[in-house]
Amino acid sequence: MLVNNAAETSRHAEAFSPASPGFADIPPEHWRPQLATGLEGIFHTLQAALPAMRGRGWGRIAFVSSAAAEHGGPREQAYAATKSALTGLAASLARELRPEGILVNIIMPAMTSTDRILRSVPEPVRQMIAGHLATGKLSTPDDIANAILFLCSTANGNITGETLHVTGGI
């Protein structure tokens, strides 16, 4: 089992600041770390894990994406771009690896009530986002973990190339 949950989020709090630069003003040195972590890191991790999975004839790969991949976010273009790229990667790998017993899926959470979010996103913003969700609340880390556990378990015998939205109903 491999769970890819990579993102460069050192500038995450800036996304919620009106003073944050727009896309046209993003310097390359802010863009590149997002791509390096969100794509190159996953590339290297996959290449390291695949031989063992292939040797067993069984494996599960889960990419943790983000609702930003589909809905975007203010000043989160690089983050959204790397998470969007996972869709094509997962679809391609699902087709390539299925004959070898390896299933590949995406878990797509929306804003989740993690310690980092609780520290960096103002309460009124979190409440506004939760108010737009069908459930009326942000997902918890356990909500995301349980989705990953299912997709990466033997209970998942035939789900591959899919995206499981764990968003509270955007």
Residues acting as catalytic residues: 79
User: What gap in Å lies between CA 19 and CA 4, rounded to an integer?
Assistant: 32
* The residue to which tokens 């459930």 are assigned: 135
Q: Which residues contact 39 (CB under 8 A, 6 or more apart)?
A: 82, 85
User: What gap in Å lies between CA 22 and CA 78, rounded to an integer?
Assistant: 12
Are 40 and 6 a contacting pair, CB within 8 Å? no
